[in-house]
Structure 1
């Protein structure tokens, strides 16, 4: 369930960022209100996810996936530029998030082995 919470947190964070862009510096009321609602929701679901997922992994995935999705929305919806540097940066984010996820899994497996050996 923690991973579902994290996915919802990511989607709400992306919606909040889109609202931030649409608010035009808090000059438009509805997007400004939605920005606050979406970010409160995102942080609430991230908090729920942190009950079961390590903060280093959850935050890396939350921020990394948010960056990835917002980059594509920026390029395809807001007509922002897309160049080689952005592509390389996105690839590095994906590699970093994946590595953190594997590191967290490996660390838990190692600590479980230590606990099991201490019980014997």
Structure 2
């Protein structure tokens, strides 16, 4: 169950980070509400996940999911760079996340 909580927490982290782009310093109501709900949900689900997962693994996977998700969506939503070094860096983060998952034993 910890991995499910962690996955959903990572997804909420992506929504949280992207919503920061749209809330314009908390001056727009709906994007600001999305930011608060997604951020709170992400932290809460991470808290549930670390009840059964090692904190180092859970935190690294959570931040990695957020970083990769926002970087990929930034390419599609905001026309951010797709140069080779950026894409290779995203792949290395994914490899690290997979490595942490594979080396964890429950």
Same fold (TM over 0.5): yes
CA distance in 2, matches of 1:81, 1:53: 34
Report the alpha carbon displacement of residue 22 of structure 1 after superposing the two structures with TM: 0.9
Larger Rg: 1
Which residue does the alignment assign to 2:65?
65
Structure 1 stretch displaced more, 37-46 or 83-92: 83-92
CA distance in 1, matches of 2:4, 2:100: 19
Partner SS for 1:77: helix
TM-score (norm 1): 0.79
TM-score (norm 2): 0.89
Report the alpha carbon displacement of residue 64 of structure 1 after superposing the two structures with TM: 0.6
Deviations 1:35-90 (CA, angstroms, capped at 9, x unpaired): 01110110000000001111111111111111111111110112222211211211
**Which segments of structure 1 move beyond 6 Å, counting only runs of 4 or more?**
none
Higher relative contact order (CA 8 A, sep 6+): 2
Structure 1 stretch displaced more, 6-15 or 91-100: 91-100
Q: How many residues matched?
A: 106
User: How is 1:23-62 mapped onto 2 (pairs within 5 angstroms)?
Assistant: 23-62=23-62
CA distance in 1, matches of 2:103, 2:10: 21
Which residue does the alignment assign to 1:7?
7
CA distance in 2, matches of 1:23, 1:32: 5
Runs (5+) with no aligned partner, structure 2:
none
CA distance in 2, matches of 1:102, 1:73: 26
